[in-house]
Amino acid sequence: MWPMQVLRKPFPGIFATFIRWTESFFAALWHFIGWMWETIIIGGLLAGTLGNAFYTYLTTGQVARIDLLHLPLLQTISMHPFLATLVLLFLASVTLASSLAHRHQRHTASTATQSEYTLQQVKRLEPQNYKLFRYIAQAYIARDVYSA
């Protein structure tokens, strides 16, 4: 069996295109998820909490503690725990898929830009990335050194 027959792509045609499109979609989604965490969730919560505490201190002269159980988001979660769990699992699975797709694209791009002489771990070597030629017996000259 020739090496090229073993290394055929497992998803020919339109299915391979769908897989590539899905991977690129989730990799792009990873950037959006990172932006959401950095800008809206962390920045909004931090600025909102500190701004509210500062405004309360300026107007009343004291800072009141926040009762977490009376926040609208936590009240909704406590009223609908099954639906909240489903939404949380869905968001976690989309985040995991996006992270894995981004990581795979980054790894593929890094190996595509490397020279053939770059050192890599053995488990990451791909035979199709190297110029390997078939052995042709007539092309080599026998030497007497090895026959003795």
On average, the pLDDT of the chain sits at 77
The first and second tokens of residue 95, run together, are 């985040």
pLDDT score of 74 = 85
pLDDT score of 96 = 93
pTM flag (> 0.75)? no
| CA-based nearest residue to 97, from 41, 37, 19 | 19
Backbone angles phi, psi at 48, to 5 degrees: -65, -45
Residues 54-99 pLDDT 10s: 888 888 888 877 777 887 888 999 999 999 999 999 999 999 999 9
CB under 8 Å to 120, separation ≥6 — which residues? Answer: 111, 114
